[in-house]
């Protein structure tokens, strides 16, 4: 009897399923699947030597006595200038480096060899999830510390699809920085040598703007 009861339940479930399938147009109309979130479009720009020169030209224009008090700079150009300031030259794989301005942040990404940035020593067991070469992405904003010194404050750092814990970011930043770090730098700040007349770098509504101080 127990076997027959189980068999009867199975038949009943099959019949209910069949009826539900036949009447699906009636009851499915009461359920509305949430539309998939639209992927944010990011306008990535390549980092090139020419872009760094355009950023330098924009800075030179600000230095003129009767020149403009601000200049808008493309994300790729500004980032190329920043990398040259940090590294002294563009990385060997500059064609794989890109930048974008999203909201109030500058995003920079490039393919890097993890051992060159000491990722294994910093990430510990997390490093086992990554390969020898991965795409690193930095997101942050600028802060002029004093005339001649600006920092790029890194808010988030990702390696491939792995978001680096916030507490670990300063350790990686220290390895990315070249030379002695100033005490005035933030723990997550990358130092950039900038002209003394540059007083502010703002990222608002997807635009990056350089400002000079009035004499």
DSSP secondary structure string for all residues of 177-201 = S-SPPPTTS-TTEEEEE--TTEEEE
Each residue of 122-131: pLDDT tens digit?
Answer: 777 777 778 8
The span from the CA of 52 to the CA of 83, in Å, is 9
Q: What are phi and psi of 208, to 5 degrees?
A: -115, 125
CB 119: neighbour CB atoms within 10 A? 23
- pLDDT of residue 149 exceeding 60, the answer is yes
What per-residue confidence (pLDDT) applies to 86? 63
Does the model's pTM come out above 0.75? Answer: no
What per-residue confidence (pLDDT) applies to 32? 40
What per-residue confidence (pLDDT) applies to 205? 79
What per-residue confidence (pLDDT) applies to 212? 92
- pLDDT of residue 5 exceeding 80, the answer is no
Can you tell me the mean pLDDT for 28-36?
40
Cα–Cα distances (Å) from 188 to 82, 107, 135, 156, in that order, read 16, 15, 19, 10
In which band, very low, low, confident or very high, does the pLDDT at 92 lie, cut at 50, 70 and 90? low
Beta bridge partners of 137: 109, 158
Report the range of poorest mean pLDDT among 8-22, 66-80, 96-110, 131-145. Answer: 8-22
In which band, very low, low, confident or very high, does the pLDDT at 21 lie, cut at 50, 70 and 90? very low
Angle between the N-to-C axes of helices 75-87 and 49-63, in degrees from 0 to 180, rounded to the nearest 10: 90
The span from the CA of 103 to the CA of 139, in Å, is 11
Q: Exposure pattern of 65-87 as b/e (b: 16+ CB <10 Å)?
A: eeeeeebebbbbbbbbbbbbbbe
Can you tell me the mean pLDDT for 198-209?
88
Can you tell me the mean pLDDT for 148-160?
91
Averaged confidence pLDDT in the chain:
76
- pLDDT of residue 4 exceeding 50, the answer is no
- Strand (E) or helix (H) holding 145: strand 133-146
What per-residue confidence (pLDDT) applies to 197? 92
Alpha helices (H) along the chain = 2-22, 24-27, 49-63, 75-87, 119-123, 169-176
Comparison of pLDDT for 155 and 175, the residue scoring more: 155
The span from the CA of 212 to the CA of 60, in Å, is 11
Each residue of 40-70: pLDDT tens digit?
Answer: 578 888 888 888 889 889 989 998 888 899 9
């Amino acid at each position: 009897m127990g076997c027959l009861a189980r068999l009867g339940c199975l038949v009943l479930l099959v019949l209910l399923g069949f009826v539900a399938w036949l009447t699906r147009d009636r009851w499915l109309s009461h359920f509305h699947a949430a539309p998939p979130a639209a992927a944010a479009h990011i306008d990535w720009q390549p980092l090139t030597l020419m872009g760094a020169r355009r950023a330098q030209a924009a800075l030179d224009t600000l230095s003129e006595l009767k020149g403009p008090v601000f200049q808008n700079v493309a994300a790729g150009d500004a980032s190329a200038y920043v990398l040259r300031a940090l590294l002294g030259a563009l990385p060997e794989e500059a064609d794989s480096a890109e930048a974008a301005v999203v909201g109030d942040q500058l995003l920079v990404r490039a393919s890097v060899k993890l051992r060159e940035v000491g990722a294994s020593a910093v990430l510990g067991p997390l490093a086992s999830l990554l390969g020898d070469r991965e795409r690193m992405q930095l997101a942050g904003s600028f802060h002029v510390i004093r005339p001649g010194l600006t920092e790029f404050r890194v808010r988030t750092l990702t390696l491939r699809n792995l978001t680096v814990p916030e507490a670990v970011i300063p350790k990686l930043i220290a390895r990315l920085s070249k030379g002695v770090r100033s005490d005035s730098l933030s723990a997550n700040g990358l130092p950039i040598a900038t002209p003394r007349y540059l007083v502010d770098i703002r990222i608002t509504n997807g635009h990056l703007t350089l400002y000079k101080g009035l004499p």
